[in-house]
Amino acid sequence: MIFSHLRKSWFLFILFCISVILPADGFTEHAPVSGDAKPASHEGMQPPDQFSGYAQMRLQINGNKPDGFDIRRVRTSYRNHSGNGCTLKIQAELAGTGPKLLDAEMSFAFHAFRLKAGQFVIPFSYENCLSTPKMTLIDRSLAVEALCARSGDVLGNQSGRDIGVQLSGLFQTCEIHLGLFNGSGINRADLNDSKDLIGRGVWRPVKDLGLGASFYKGRMKAASTGLSEPRERLGAELAASWRPVGVTAEIIHGRDGAVRKSGWAVQTNVALVPHRLTGVWRSEAFDDDGRPSTRTCRHTAGIVWNMHSHALILLNIEFYENQEPGQVILGQLQTTF
């Protein structure tokens, strides 16, 4: 039944994209979207003040829900480089349930290290740390959504962020991040006296290969009893690139009180037309409480079309194995400034 609406919905989506894109400044080279994202270096010659942002309009065709468009994200960011190694970043979300503060961080770089404090993305998982505009699929993996302070987490959707302090070291072949966080999410005071310890390390033995591991050790307040319970995660990751192919793989185990959860995902990106068109496939599974009956298996096929330097379109089809909703079709137009 889901495909019966396909022709009409995609026609509307394509008309919208054409109306937005055609008046733009033509096709220019855009950064490749396959392969691993390299770690950002400490700021060099950059303007002291930078404003940026992006917007994402999404189309969903789901047999269990009404088909339609929504403005998924509208985010604007301000970054200030003082010139002495200090950086201030503020990012806000304007779409969704209403405006909210996502990032409010101050960092100081010295030699190969960076000290950061405020509200920002927790250093756990490759995909959780991947900036949303750089994603090549519309949705993050089931495991990341459930175990990295996102939409499926017991703490609610914190956009993968928390409040705390973090020390990072960026070296020639590796990077290390270690932080102490409230463990209660964004824009709220801590819910207990304990603090959560989170860390991530990535080793790059060669240029296009990254091997990493992450851990999360904390406590949370149980909703039913009000008692403090363990909140723990452990993950491993791989990111490799053999142009024109990029591969990422990730496995995450977690524990929320007595409930144990785990999931994995493997994703392949293939540059069909360099800098212009990329094909994507991801297979994944997630166990919500360790029982086979609660396992969700999903496969996603996608295309990323870099229309020009400030706009791209992502088209995805999600297949669920023997589960509702069966198939979900997604389209997303992303524009940046």
Tens-digit pLDDT profile for residues 32-48: 333 333 334 444 556 78
pLDDT at 129 over 80: yes
Q: How confident is the model at residue 26 (pLDDT cuts 50, 70, 90)?
A: very low
pTM for the structure as a whole: 0.85
- Is 191 within 8 Å of 197 (Cβ atoms)? no
Query: Is domain 2-22+53-336 annotated with CATH 2.40.160.10?
Result: yes
User: pLDDT tens digits, residue range 197-210?
Assistant: 999 999 999 999 99
Q: Where are the domains of the chain?
A: 2-22+53-336
- Is 289 within 8 Å of 262 (Cβ atoms)? no
pLDDT attached to residue 290: 67
Structure tokens at 251: 């496995």
Higher pLDDT, 194 or 22: 194
The stretch 14-28 carries a mean pLDDT of: 41
The least confident of 32-41, 159-168, 276-285, 306-315 is 32-41
Cα separation, 167 vs 177, in Å, equals: 6
pLDDT attached to residue 18: 45
Higher pLDDT, 31 or 316: 316
In order of 34, 195, 336, the CA distances from 129 in angstroms are 16, 21, 19
pLDDT attached to residue 239: 98
Higher pLDDT, 106 or 26: 106
pLDDT at 122 over 60: yes
Q: How confident is the model at residue 317 (pLDDT cuts 50, 70, 90)?
A: very high
pLDDT at 308 over 60: yes
Higher pLDDT, 36 or 249: 249
Q: Which amino acid is at 57?
A: M
Which of these, 243, 334, 331, 335, lies nearest to 11 by C-alpha position? 331
Q: In the chain, pLDDT over 90 holds for what percent of residues?
A: 72
Burial of 196 from C-beta contacts in 10 A (0-12 / 13-18 / 19+): buried
Q: In the chain, pLDDT over 70 holds for what percent of residues?
A: 85
SS (H, E, C) the chain: CHHHHHHHHHHHHHHHHHHHHCCCCCCCCCCCCCCCCCCCCCCCCCCCEEEEEEEEEEEEEECCCCCEEEEEEEEEEEEEECCCCEEEEEEEECCCCCCEEEEEEEEEEECCEEEEEEEEECCCCHHHHCCHHHCCCCCCCHHHHHHCCCCCCCCCCCCCEEEEEEEEEECCCEEEEEEEECCCCCCCCCCCCCCEEEEEEEEEEECCEEEEEEEEEEEEECCCCCCEEEEEEEEEEEEEEECCEEEEEEEEEEEECCEEEEEEEEEEEEEEECCCEEEEEEEEEEECCCCHHHEEEEEEEEEEEEEECCEEEEEEEEEECCCCCCEEEEEEEEEEC
In order of 166, 217, 234, 315, the CA distances from 179 in angstroms are 4, 11, 15, 36
Which of these, 145, 67, 52, 138, lies nearest to 334 by C-alpha position? 138
What is the overall mean pLDDT for the chain?
A: 87
pLDDT attached to residue 22: 42
In order of 132, 180, 233, 247, the CA distances from 217 in angstroms are 25, 10, 7, 28
pLDDT at 10 over 60: no
pLDDT at 30 over 50: no
pLDDT attached to residue 56: 98
Higher pLDDT, 42 or 30: 42
Cα separation, 216 vs 162, in Å, equals: 12
pLDDT at 11 over 70: no
Q: Which amino acid is at 125?
A: S
Cα separation, 115 vs 19, in Å, equals: 44
User: pLDDT tens digits, residue range 48-68?
Assistant: 899 999 999 999 998 778 899
